Amino acid sequence: MPVRALEFYAGIGGLHLALQRSSVDGVVVQAFDWDPAACQVYRINHPPEIIKKADISQLSAEQLAAYNADLWLLSPACQPYTVLNPNAKGAADPRAKSFLYLVQEVLPKLKEMNALPSRLLVENVAGFEVLCFCSPLDLSDIISESS
């Protein structure tokens, strides 16, 4: 049975392609991005019905649980965290809002619902795991119990 994946911040589908080219028997069942141009290109690169133009901070735990996903592929905005930008605001940047929402609100609710994905793959810039929350990103208290 293939691993069911959700792709967040899908862009043109880079993580979808990475999953396809990996040794994992996986299928992206739904992808989300807010940018219409990115969604248009995604539809060219992957089955068009998979991508949904959506504000990720508006997706509910109940909506996401319905996909019964084993894996979340996430590539949130890197601009808030890049060390190349001396004015980077980290988690205070509005572009970080939706990722924080997923981690701080949706994942705990999914844990209560016994509907957590078993794996998260987060792609971002070096240092993201520290800059995102001003301490190392640790989801072990949420994820480990469901594995």
Residue 119: φ, ψ to 5°: -140, 145
DSSP 138: -
Helix (H/G/I), strand (E/B), else coil: 12 = coil
* Secondary element (H or E) of residue 57: none
Structure tokens at 20: 């396809």
Cβ-based neighbours of 34, under 8 Å, separated by 6 or more: 53, 54, 55, 56
Sheet with 71-74: list strands edge to edge.
51-53, 26-33, 3-8, 71-74, 119-122
Based on the residue annotation, tell me whether 78 is a catalytic residue of this protein: yes
* Secondary element (H or E) of residue 16: helix 14-21
Q: Give me the active site residues, please.
A: 78
